[in-house]
Amino acid sequence: MVHGPPPEGLGPRRLAGSPTTPTILETAGWADYALLDSGAGRKLERYGAIRIVRPEEQALWAPRLPAAVWEGADAHFTGDVEEEGPGRWRFPVALPPSWPMSFAPARFSCRFTSFRHTGVFPEQVAHWLWMRERVAAAVAAGRRPRLLNLFGYTGLASLIAAAAGAEVTHVDASKKSIAWARENQAESGLDHLPIRWICDDAQKFVAREARRGSRYDAILLDPPKYGRGPEGEVWQLFEHLGGMLRTTRDLLSDAPLFTILTVYAMRASYAAFHELTAEVMARRPGRLESGELFLTEAPAPGTDIIRRLPTSLWVRWTPETAP
């Protein structure tokens, strides 16, 4: 049975922005990063001068480059963290435990972690550039926006936002990640910027901030699918995200700039997180955009065909009238 639209005025109120049309945000790399090839459940990337092979379940297609190029990479991650637990790195030749990279104005160190990450998620560049423009515009209008970065990891988004003029509160449950972020701040020569580095469970922190009446003009959320706080607190994405979004909604100031949610749960749908955010933000007039983040692969020799690798899902809220 096909139903027509409800009579005018009787339909549900929705935030502007439809989840039926996802927005694709692409990152083609920069001087210090490139996605060289992908396929057969793996990806070949260049981080600075280091070429790395890691598992990538979204790469369902065949690799373009010869097997010898892949085998000649500097580091290979073995094992899948979701099914086999933390894996190990194989190094055909000796490598330093860390090496430098940069994305202006941030300079940072990459490392080989047991969970296959290196300290930077290159696809986030699309969010960094958009965020930097909004923060800079607010500063030009005479404001110093307060930005809350939850699950902030190694601090690159915090450094970029602070360099654009924001006063940043960075929260992560890992002492190692906080120490790494502080090192990145020092490497960048940005110690003078107003960043509070807080090692805490994100759920507990935002609950306390709500009780205190704290307010922020912009909020970044990059939660894991599963995690533990410094005192063993458990985070489950599909169980706890709704409550987290409701609390962060209440932390928004009366003149907010934006909220950005990124989710590395590719087996879900961007539309699911769009609808959840639409429900949570219904009391705050604004616009929702959502979609996927992609890395654009470097064209293979002899072809101009562009191939894109999906990495994560995202939802972005902005007020009806930006300050």
For the stretch 166-224, pLDDT in tens is 999 999 999 999 999 999 999 999 999 999 999 999 999 999 999 999 999 999 999 99
- The per-residue pLDDT for range 219-267, each reduced to its tens digit, is 999 999 888 877 778 888 989 999 999 999 999 999 999 999 999 987 8
Tell me what pLDDT residue 21 has.
Answer: 79
First-last CA distance in the chain? 45
Alpha carbons 265 and 270: distance in angstroms, whole number = 9
Q: Residue 123 carries which side chain, given as an amino acid letter? A: E
Give the pair of three-digit tokens for residue 288: 């929702």
pLDDT for the residue numbered 95 = 94
* In the chain, % of residues over pLDDT 90: 77
Tokens representing 119 are 């300290």
Q: Which domains does the chain have, with CATH numbers?
A: 29-120 (2.60.40.1180), 121-323 (3.40.50.150)
Distance CA 211, CA 223 (A): 22
How many other CB atoms sit within 10 Å of the CB of residue 54? 19
Q: Report the pLDDT value the prediction gives residue 85, as an integer from 0 to 100.
A: 45
pLDDT score, position 232: 79
88-90 vs 75-78, strand pairing mode: antiparallel
Given this model, what pLDDT does residue 17 score?
55
The C-alpha atoms of residue 281 and residue 13 are separated, in whole angstroms, by: 12
Q: How much is the pTM?
A: 0.89
